[in-house]
Amino acid sequence: MGWAIALHGGAGDIPLSLPPERRQPREAALRHCLQVGVDSLKAQKSPLDVVELVVRELENNPHFNAGRGSVLTTEGTIEMEACIMDGKTKKCGAVSGLTTVVNAISLARVVMEKTPHIYLAFDGAEKFAREQGLETVESSHFITPENIERLKHAKEANRVQIDYTQPVEKETPTVDGDSQIGTVGCVAVDNDGNLAAATSTGGLVNKMVGRIGDTPIIGAGTYANNLCAVSATGKGEAIIRGTVARDVAALMEFKGLSLKEAAAYVVEECVPRGNAGLVAVSAKGELTMAFNTTGMFRAAATEDGYTEIAIWP
Amino acid sequence: MGGWAIAVHGGAGVDPNLPQQRQEEAKQLLTRCLNLGISALRSNLPAIDVVELVVRELETDPLFNSGRGSALTAKGTVEMEASIMDGCGRRCGAVSGVTTVKNPVSLARLVMERSPHSYLAFSGAEEFARLQGVEVVDNEYFITEENVGMLKLAKEANTIVFDYRIPALGLETCSAVVESPIQMNGLPISVYAPETVGCVVVDSQGRCAAATSTGGLMNKMTGRIGDSPLIGAGTYACNLCGVSCTGEGEAIIRGTLAREVAAVMEYKGLGLQEAVDFVVKERLDEGKAGLIAVSSKGEVACGFNTTGMFRGCATEDGFMEVGIWD
């Protein structure tokens, strides 16, 4: 059977004309994170350890929307969220509203393993992080010049919709497609069919303070059980409504679809076009990466030697 | 078949030693809320309006654990959460960490209808509430004397029980009079406040909606979020059904319980009651929870694996039932 791993750095309207100076560092990062994951699987680390490790790498890389490099809220601040799930036990941990924790995914894991709860947020989560001795830094550490620009563009595009007392269109058109990029994630399965999924993000650019997306919501952005592990990315609101991660597993279980068929069905039917992508692996060692956006930063490998690093279809 | 249907709940997991008077009060409240919903349905209000109205009533009454009468955090404060979902188009809204908004379910609805997002929490949610001009009060408004007492008991019980998966040792030394060894979420059932209120409705046009609201777990850590505001876990509605869950938050989240009912109907073709039974039986592992559900065809169902669930349901053909036990 063999192990398999897939990771993503966000799905969105990634322009085909993305200049090399923006494309190459991301491809290099995907390559590096994939190698970290592959090496850990070869060293027999559990899928839960592997997904946490890989997502930590992605969070530390400033080119993706998680940890350092997170997009900014409408007030120019950072609010990070993450989620991790162990397929074998269905234990999970999630965090939201983090401002100083260097690796949100690790805090999510600590919530899972050291509390009787699943989900901690904002001040309570920050306090818990300190109690547990997790690494914290000044919030400015996470902010990059690129994201300050993104926020500026987003505000310009949204200029006509500042009055939130009027009904608002959920589909906000963006001038710079690049600003829709959201989330990093990783899924892995080992030789024994143990599965795990992890997702982390800075959220939606120009989001309202306190806005929570799909990433920390079990069944929406993240899910793992004994059949498969899924990590989704894209427009959070659509992924929540479409219960994307859970539905991939549900289609396999209740309709007998294969991993690939289930993933394809979900991105076609459960979310509007241009809104989502996902990576998934099955207990049998299969893997799939599906998206209905222009592109998705992704990388994958299986034990039999297959490797892929890509952005567009 | 067809016609409207409505169900309400006030929490799963009831102390079998609950005084008769409390049981009566609960049944009266459930009856009152059902009747409120029924009048609204008879006036042709859409399902989404009915669930909001009914849950507002449940939040306002201090009897159950939501709005006024919410369970208290470890600090003795109230942090409320709620979610609402409209089966038409699966629009949804949710809030967490609400401390001054009188009716969290209404704030959740405003998030759904008046913001570009689906879920707002803590200071962001409170700020949004002020921008929207919703009714706000001091946090003290939500705190009842009874819950202050319950918090004290919960703290005493928790100094003994650290890992809720391990059976409690030394509970005999706890000053709480524990006559039954039943536990939920690590607390003896006598101090465990039923977690949540909820309502599900299908109107005469076959539109389904669901809403859930809670103060959360007694003695919870500040910032702890449960299943109630999580779409797919505590609340879900689509064109087939509307579901609201209550009980051990962790079990409900891991089991994505509300979505599960809809998924087995959608992908496996099960009917409403079959789906509810399947989910309660197969998807809760060692967890304890209950749920209420309605289908677009006008059916209503409930299921729970706990000792009792405060609930009531009614359908257009005149059926009406309010109960606590099996």
pTM, to two decimals: 0.93
Q: Token match 């998206």: residue?
A: A291
A contacts of B97 (beta carbons < 8 Å): 121-122
Q: Are A259 and A195 in contact (CB under 8 A)?
A: no
| CATH code of the domain covering residue A180 | 3.60.20.30
Question: How far is residue A70's CA from residue A61's CA, in Å, rounded to a whole number?
Answer: 10
A contacts of B96 (beta carbons < 8 Å): 121, 212
Single-letter amino acid, residue B74 = A
Please give the structure tokens belonging to residue A76: 């120019």
**Beta-carbon contacts below 8 Å between A and B:** 163
Quick check: B169 pLDDT over 80? no
Question: How far is residue B108's CA from residue B110's CA, in Å, rounded to a whole number?
Answer: 5
Average pLDDT, chain A: 92
Query: Is B248 labelled a binding residue?
Result: yes
Question: How far is residue B23's CA from residue B15's CA, in Å, rounded to a whole number?
Answer: 10
CB contact (8 A) between residue B122 and residue A116:
no
The 10s digit of each residue's pLDDT in A262-277 is 999 999 999 999 999 9
Closest by alpha carbon to A85, among A175, A172, A200? A200
What pLDDT shows up at residue B194? 61
CB contact (8 A) between residue B231 and residue A240:
yes
Q: Are A5 and A301 in contact (CB under 8 A)?
A: yes
CA A191 to chain B, closest CA, distance in angstroms equals: 24
Q: How far is CA A108 from the centre of its chain?
A: 13
B98 reaches A (C-beta below 8 A) = no
Quick check: B185 pLDDT over 80? no
Domain limits for position A198: 4-310
CB contact (8 A) between residue A124 and residue B221:
yes
CA A259 to chain B, closest CA, distance in angstroms equals: 15
Query: Is A211 labelled a binding residue?
Result: yes
Active site residues of B: 196
User: Taking chain B, what is the end-to-end CA distance rounded to the nearest angstrom?
Assistant: 25
What pLDDT shows up at residue B153? 87
Please name the residue of chain A whose CA is at the shortest distance from the CA of residue B270: A254
Please give the structure tokens belonging to residue B56: 């507002």
Question: How far is residue A264's CA from residue A93's CA, in Å, rounded to a whole number?
Answer: 27
Which helix H or strand E contains B58, and what residues bound it? helix B47-60
Quick check: B163 pLDDT over 70? no
Average pLDDT over every residue of A280-306: 97
Please name the residue of chain A whose CA is at the shortest distance from the CA of residue B161: A116
Question: How far is residue B9's CA from residue B154's CA, in Å, rounded to a whole number?
Answer: 23
The 10s digit of each residue's pLDDT in B173-183 is 333 444 446 77
Closest partner residue to A211 (CB to CB) among B117, B163, B253 is B117
What pLDDT shows up at residue B116? 93
DSSP output for chain A: ---EEEEEEEEE---TT--HHHHHHHHHHHHHHHHHHHHHHHTT--HHHHHHHHHHHHHHSTTSSSSTTPPPBTTS---EEEEEEETTTTEEEEEEEESSBS-HHHHHHHHHHHSS-SEEEHHHHHHHHHHTT--B--GGGG--HHHHHHHHHHHHHTGGG--TTS---SS---SSGGGG-B-EEEEEE-TT--EEEEEEE--STTBPTTB--STTSBTTTEEE-SSEEEEEEE-HHHHHHTTHHHHHHHHHHHH---HHHHHHHIIIIIS-TTSEEEEEEETTS-EEEEESSSEEEEEEEETTS-EEEES--
| pLDDT grade for A198, boundaries at 50, 70 and 90 | very high
The number of CA neighbours under 13 Å toward the Cβ of B277 is 5
Average pLDDT over every residue of A164-183: 50
Quick check: B192 pLDDT over 80? no
Please name the residue of chain A whose CA is at the shortest distance from the CA of residue B255: A90
Quick check: A162 pLDDT over 80? no
CB contact (8 A) between residue A167 and residue B114:
yes
What pLDDT shows up at residue A152? 92
Gyration radius of chain B over CA positions: 18
What pLDDT shows up at residue A158? 77
The 10s digit of each residue's pLDDT in B76-113 is 999 999 999 999 999 999 999 999 999 999 999 999 99
Q: Token match 């987003």: residue?
A: A154
B contacts of A240 (beta carbons < 8 Å): 92, 118-119, 231-232
* Number of domains into which chain A is organized: 1
